[in-house]
């Protein structure tokens, strides 16, 4: 392949000679290197590199260029000459808006490359960009890099030009790595395919050099950037991205004539009632099931409003991937369970340009928008709804907190509390005057906080101190860890260890937060994901890096609790829950637990040991029925059956293997007999004083298991000190110490 190291292709598109000298006004250089960027008809979703960031940088450039005092905005990207893409991407310069333009720089081979293939060409990109800028006759006043690759280039350009560096990560490598693990990719594959090590190093270097980092939400600052050694909260600003107010606007009456309106109405017996609208991907984390169940359980809400669930596009549910298929399958089952026919619409198809129409339909009906996601880092749909004059009800997490605080246009709820969801929806629907007030406050709040004009104004206010002379703010000297990723992890049961002593829990949380850059924090529980999240929120337990739930049958990763699908596939081996139930349902002393405690990989019973057969007999009966499973007994009253490959200990070991953490650097705090297999073996382990239960007493003489004198979280802190967990991480006295 031919390397292009001569700067801009097709000659240098210099400005007219009269503009080559310094001019009054700010000159902003935006760097967004990968993907396909042009001024019109953005190919959003064409591939993984042409998504939200592409739209963001184009809109930012336009918005900044429109501000008084801004003389020039250049959006610099990579030039592409490739017959597989539009020739638009080969133009060296393209006007964008007024005094804004797109500048395309040559680097590496001519063809279109995925961002992971650009790393070896970024130094050439930096050199060619610098040559271009010097030939222009005016240098930028600041450089603003977008994503890790641009950060790598931006750091070099800002240093050579002597101007401030501003950075926006958009997506962070440490967080992306978790998502890739959840998708089932192995450590070596992730490093080879995604160049993750280079990406994270570039992000660390960029954060060390940047004088300002712009994020979308406070949650992003704390939970995502906080994972980095060079996280400097004093140099970070939350400036939410703008929404296109030409697309998202209040109803004008025309929305009812749109085809999508008819598509929604055909489901409904009384289509003129207020609409409760939910729009999301068909993903378990979006929590559609809780919304439908809450609606189905409330005769009052059904009487007063229809429910509209727009969950992606489909031709046949059976053709979707497993996760989406499960979500939509459960949706249809719940519609039948609650007999919601005629009260709920669930259209199969919608176009991108019909999404604003859906918001306007709901607004014109006197309805409300709801986002019940388990976790929501940003919440773009909430801003779109607000811009459409639609009040909102949203999960009390992450971005929605900021949005409701800024717009005062709705209510925050616990997404796992169906009664709270119903109450908030009725609060909006029952009071037309309050609803109109919320809608108006939303419209005003969007204009003030979430329009592109507002974004640009906040942006200029944030960068102005960097440009007003004087020296750049001093960066503290931060210590980098010796390893790129976490080299240790602490896992604890939820109920038996963290609950019961609020004071010790608060101390434990402080210690975990203080050491989050070197150690992963995990919770291992028999509770379901939903139940565990509810308890964690109630007691102020921070989001763990990994949540192992339902006795090790499900693994979810922060920050969005994405499920580890590879683990689910791995444990779905010789697992036939119907056959298990057929054996156990007939036994005396066993009573199946409620539906909320049953999952696709766990069958749970209450057991009366005085009446039920011994555990050995239960195992024998299952073996006779050719069921190869794990059977566990906890606290003498809970009997659980899981796949043979699933347990708390095996889930923990899966995680440590995937993440490259030695078992010898894992501290496991157990609370019942179900925790035994995660405490035995090469892990460091602790049994806290309040759990010196007979189920765990047999571990007293096992090597590497410490019985603490203190109870609850204080006992875990005692074990952290005993093992010097955040230091040498060793058993006292081992190896002659």
pLDDT for residue 475: 61
Spell out the domain ranges in the chain: 27-238, 254-450, 488-572+645-736, 574-644
- The fold of the 488-572+645-736 domain, in CATH, is Rossmann fold (3.40.50)
Only one residue has tokens 């860890």, namely 481
The whole-number pLDDT of residue 1 equals 40
- Which tokens in the block code for residue 190? 């992730």
The Cβ of residue 427 has, within 10 Å, a number of other Cβ atoms equal to: 17
**What is residue 598's predicted lDDT score, i.e. its pLDDT?**
86
Closest CA to 504 of 688, 334, 659, 630: 688
pLDDT at 597: 82
Question: Strand 684-687 relative to strand 666-670: parallel, antiparallel, unpaired?
Answer: parallel
Closest CA to 491 of 244, 736, 661: 661
Does this chain's domain 27-238 share its CATH topology with 254-450?
Answer: yes
**504 Cβ contact list (under 8 Å, min separation 6):** 710, 711, 712, 713, 714, 717
| DSSP helix/strand/coil, 632 | strand
CATH number of 254-450, picked from 3.60.20.10, 1.10.10.10, 3.40.630.30, 3.40.50.2000? 3.40.50.2000
Scan for tokens 């210099």, then name that residue: 14
Pick from 516, 510, 519, 567: which is nearest to 541 by CA? 510
Q: Which residue has the tokens 């971005």?
A: 399
Please confirm whether the linkage preceding 559 is cis (ω < 30° from 0): yes
Decide the pairing of beta strands 100-105 and 93-97. antiparallel
Q: Kindly state the DSSP code that residue 669 receives in the 8-state scheme.
A: E
CA distance 524 to 536: 12
Q: How many angstroms separate the CA atoms of 361 and 132, rounded?
A: 50
The confidence score (pLDDT) of residue 529 equals 87
Q: To 5 degrees, how large is the angle CA 635–CA 638–CA 644?
A: 110
Which DSSP category does 223 fall into? Answer: I
Determine the pLDDT at residue 17.
34
C-alpha 126/C-alpha 516 separation (Å) is: 34
Q: Which of 63, 34, 128 is nearest to 455 (CA)?
A: 63
pLDDT of residue 474: 57
Residue ranges of the chain whose pLDDT lies below 50 = 1-3, 6, 9-22, 471, 736-737
How many Å apart are CA 622 and CA 606, to the nearest integer? 17
| Cα separation, 202 vs 98, whole angstroms | 33
Q: In what order do the strands lie in the sheet with 236-238?
A: 93-97, 100-105, 70-78, 26-31, 142-146, 165-168, 212-215, 236-238
CB 173 within 8 A of CB 191: no
What are the distances in angstroms from CA 158 to CA 65, 130, 137, 153, 472? 21, 10, 17, 9, 12
pLDDT tens-digit series, residues 684-706: 999 988 765 566 677 777 778 99
User: What class has domain 574-644?
Assistant: alpha beta
Structure tokens at 645: 């490959």
Identify the CATH homologous superfamily for domain 27-238.
Glycogen Phosphorylase B; (3.40.50.2000)
148 — phi, psi (to 5°)? -65, -40
Judge contact between 714 and 510, C-beta under 8 A.
Answer: no
Strands 684-687, 100-105: parallel, antiparallel or unpaired by DSSP?
A: unpaired
pLDDT digits (tens, 9 = 90+) for 616-670: 999 999 999 999 999 988 778 899 999 999 999 999 999 999 888 999 999 999 8
Distance from chain centroid for Cα 613? 45
Q: How far apart are CA 384 and CA 322, in angstroms?
A: 29
Given this model, what pLDDT does residue 20 score? 39
Chain segment 268-322, per-residue pLDDT in tens: 999 999 999 999 988 888 899 999 999 999 999 999 999 999 998 888 888 877 6
481, two tokens? 């860890």
């Amino acid at each position: 392949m031919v390397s292009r190291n001569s700067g801009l292709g097709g000659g240098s598109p210099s400005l007219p000679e009269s503009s080559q000298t310094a001019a009054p006004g700010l000159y902003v250089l935006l760097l967004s290197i990968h993907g396909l960027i042009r001024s019109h008809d953005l190919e959003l979703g064409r591939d993984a590199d042409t998504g939200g960031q592409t739209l963001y940088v184009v809109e930012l450039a336009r918005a900044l260029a429109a501000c008084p005092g801004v003389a020039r905005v250049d959006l610099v990207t990579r030039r592409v000459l490739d017959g597989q893409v539009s020739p638009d991407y080969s133009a060296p310069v393209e006007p964008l808006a007024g005094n804004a333009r797109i500048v395309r720089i040559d680097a590496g081979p001519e063809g279109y490359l995925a961002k992971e293939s650009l790393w070896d060409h970024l130094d050439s990109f930096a050199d060619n960009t610098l040559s271009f800028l010097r030939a222009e006759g005016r240098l930028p006043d600041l450089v603003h890099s977008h994503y890790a690759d641009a950060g790598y280039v931006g750091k070099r350009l800002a240093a050579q030009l002597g101007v401030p560096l501003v950075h926006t990560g958009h997506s962070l490598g440490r967080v992306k790595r978790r998502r890739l693990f959840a998708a089932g990719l192995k450590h070596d594959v992730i490093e080879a395919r995604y160049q993750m090590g280079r990406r994270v190093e570039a992000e660390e270097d960029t954060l060390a050099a940047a004088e300002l980092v712009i994020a979308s939400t406070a949650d992003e600052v704390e939970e995502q950037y906080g994972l980095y050694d060079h996280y400097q909260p004093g140099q970070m600003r939350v400036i939410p991205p703008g929404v296109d107010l030409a697309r998202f606007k209040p109803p004008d009456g025309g929305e009812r004539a749109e085809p999508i309106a008819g598509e929604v109405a055909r489901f409904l017996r009384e289509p003129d009632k207020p609409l409760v609208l939910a729009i999301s991907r068909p993903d378990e984390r979006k929590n559609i099931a809780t919304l439908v169940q809450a609606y189905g359980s409330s005769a009052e809400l059904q009487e007063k409003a229809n429910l509209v669930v727009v969950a992606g596009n489909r031709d046949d549910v059976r053709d979707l991937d497993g996760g989406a298929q499960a979500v939509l399958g459960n949706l249809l089952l719940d519609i039948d369970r609650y007999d919601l026919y005629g009260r709920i619409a669930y259209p199969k198809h919608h176009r991108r340009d019909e999404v604003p129409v859906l918001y306007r339909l709901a607004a014109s009906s006197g309805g409300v928008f709801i986002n019940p996601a388990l976790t929501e880092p940003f919440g773009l749909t909430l801003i779109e709804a607000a811009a459409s004059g639609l009040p909102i009800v949203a999960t009390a997490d992450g971005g929605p907190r900021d949005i409701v605080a800024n717009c005062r246009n709705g209510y925050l709820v616990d997404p796992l509390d169906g009664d709270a969801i119903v109450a908030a929806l009725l609060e909006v629907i029952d009071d037309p005057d309050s609803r109109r007030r919320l809608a108006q406050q939303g419209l005003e709040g969007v204009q003030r906080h979430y329009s592109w004009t507002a974004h640009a104004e906040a942006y200029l206010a944030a960068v102005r101190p960097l440009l007003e002379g004087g020296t750049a703010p001093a960066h503290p000297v931060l210590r980098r860890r010796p390893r790129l990723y976490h080299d240790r992890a602490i896992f604890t049961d939820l109920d038996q260890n963290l609950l019961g002593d609020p004071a010790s829990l608060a101390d434990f949380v402080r210690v975990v937060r203080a050491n989050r850059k070197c150690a992963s924090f995990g919770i291992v529980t028999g509770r379901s994901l939903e139940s565990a999240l509810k308890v964690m929120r109630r007691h102020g337990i921070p989001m763990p890096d990994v949540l192992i739930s339902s006795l090790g049958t499900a693994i979810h990763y922060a920050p969005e609790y994405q499920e580890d699908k590879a683990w689910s596939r791995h444990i779905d081996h010789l697992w036939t829950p119907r056959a298990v139930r057929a054996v156990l349902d007939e036994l005396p002393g066993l009573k199946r637990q409620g539906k909320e405690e049953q999952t696709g990989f766990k069958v749970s019973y209450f057991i009366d040991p005085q009446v039920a057969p011994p555990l050995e007999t239960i195992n024998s009966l299952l073996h006779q029925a050719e069921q190869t499973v794990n059977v566990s007994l906890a606290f003498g009253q809970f009997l659980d059956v899981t796949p043979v490959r699933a347990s708390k200990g095996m889930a923990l070991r899966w995680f440590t293997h995937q993440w490259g953490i030695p078992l010898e650097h894992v501290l496991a705090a157990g609370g019942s007999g179900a925790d035994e297999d995660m405490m035995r073996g090469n892990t460091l382990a602790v049994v806290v004083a309040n759990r010196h239960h007979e189920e765990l007493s047999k571990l007293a003489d096992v090597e590497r298991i410490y019985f603490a004198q203190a109870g609850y979280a204080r006992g875990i802190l005692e074990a952290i000190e005993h093992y010097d967990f955040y230091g040498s991480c060793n058993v006292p006295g081992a190896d002659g110490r």
